[in-house]
Amino acid sequence: MYLWARQNERSLTDVLDKNCFEVLKDIVPQLTAAKRFRGLGGEYMRQAVCHLIEKVSISELPWHGDQIIDLFQSTIDDNLSHTEPEIQEGAVRALSALCQQYYVKADGTAIDGIQDKITTHYIEQLKSSSEFSRVGFSQALGSLPKFLLSSRLKLVFPGLITASQLANDPGKFAESRRDALKAIARIACTVGLSRTGDEDYVVTENSLRALYDAFIAAMSDYTIDSRGDVGAWVREASMTGLETLTRFVVENDPSLLTPEICQCVMYCLAQQASEKIDRTRAHAGEIFLRLLYMDSPPLPHIPQREELLEIYPRNECLEMNWSAPAECFPRITRLLGLSSYRGPVLLGLTVSVGGLTESLVRHSYASLLSFLKSISNSEEELNAFAESLLEIYRKHQKNDRQV
């Protein structure tokens, strides 16, 4: 009905009777009073009511300042802590629509008091003892529009960065760390970038470094629990975030990307692209090549860029299957010949060569052996390789995953 009214340049108040609005407004209060969100069928009702709030908001019903909006907000907040991902995702969509319609003034700024009410509460929930709450409210923060995030970034970014860290409880909350990283990247793209701007309103040179540090730190998350290497979810989210943030900076102000940042990004991706989990390796390798092949404008400060393009020519590697050991390891081991990449690639290969999967071990070992044979006549290259290997053992001698 809303779409029809819009196409005919009319509002819903012109085409619907006032009683219809009252009936719609009374749905959520009645469901709440009847406790329909509990017990048998409660999950379906939760999804349905989030869908209703989303569509009501999109339809621009004239309920600005009405008490029903507070009930909508509390209903959304309750569903953000739910255990079912589908319900949380529905609540996030409803929140985004609600904010865009009912929390903004005509001048584009937030209505009075709403920023403190939402951001303060949501940031506090990032410390919850419930992982489901951390997941839901991380996603919610990532979905907030710019007018709600403005003047709150000095609280929002540190809160999410802390939520993305292992802290003192390794093995817990991998999903929430993953979603905190996703939210960081989304918010950065939402609020924009300015070298000399106010850190409370936009991403600046200083805060950009903190965001990169958070993503790079997350690349060391190798948490293992009964489900296996759940840290891989965090590492994959970190890689996606690094690509999103890097593309965003390159498109807006590439001068903010220092050689150190670009080197760390490429080294981390190279290491992950040589490790043992097929899905994670493929994710890293594809991002590695996308950043390498960026043209307009290109990513600056890529170490040994020309040599990389010789190893990974675009016409041959665009469709490369990184998850297939037979296809990726012959090329990834060639990076051992590049001084910049030798350390991180060798660090990843030590895990792959010592893995448990027959295909992985066979192809990674054969590729590594082939590389060593190719440098067998060069004492200088052999010494450099040996020194890199010894450095890994020195640095990781108490790390069972590496040694």
Q: What is the pLDDT of residue 11?
A: 66
pLDDT in tens, 336-353: 999 999 999 999 998 888
Would you say residue 292 lies in a domain?
no
Rounded to the nearest 5°, which phi and psi values hold at 125?
-70, -20
* End-to-end Cα separation, the chain, in angstroms: 65
pLDDT at residue 5 in the model: 54
Tell me, yes or no, whether 13 lies in a domain.
yes
In a domain, 15, yes or no: yes
Q: Provide the domain limits for residue 89.
A: 1-104
- The residues with which 104 forms a beta bridge, in sequence order, are 110
Whether 305 shows a pLDDT value over 90: the answer reads: yes
The mean per-residue pLDDT over the stretch 389-397 comes to 85
In a domain, 6, yes or no: yes
Query: Which tokens go with 14?
Result: 């012109």
Alpha carbon 204 to chain centroid, angstroms: 19
Mean pLDDT across the stretch 155-174?
87
pLDDT of residue 22: 85
Q: What integer is the mean pLDDT of 152-176? A: 89
Domain count, the chain: 1
Structure tokens at 112: 């009075």
**pLDDT attached to residue 402:** 57
Q: What is the mean pLDDT of the chain?
A: 92
pLDDT bracket for residue 13 (50, 70, 90): low
Does the pLDDT of residue 252 top 70, yes or no?
yes
For residue 1, the model assigns a pLDDT of 54
Q: Residue 387 falls within a domain, yes or no? A: no
pLDDT average, residue stretch 6-24: 69
Residue range 318-328, pLDDT digits in tens: 889 999 999 99
Q: For 139-150, what is the mean pLDDT?
A: 97
- pLDDT band at residue 6, thresholds of 50, 70 and 90? low
Q: Scanning the structure block, which residue is given the tokens 């959304």?
A: 76
* DSSP state letters, 65-108: T-HHHHHHHHHHHHHHT-S-HHHHHHHHHHHHHHHHHHSB-TTS
Q: Is residue 130 part of a domain?
A: no
Helices vs. strands in the chain: H and E counts, helices first: 22, 2
Residue 157 lies in a domain: no
Confidence of residue 110 (pLDDT cuts 50, 70, 90): very high
In a domain, 58, yes or no: yes
Does residue 21 surpass a pLDDT of 70? yes
Give the model confidence (pLDDT) of 37-76 as tens digits: 998 899 999 999 999 999 999 988 889 999 999 999 999 9
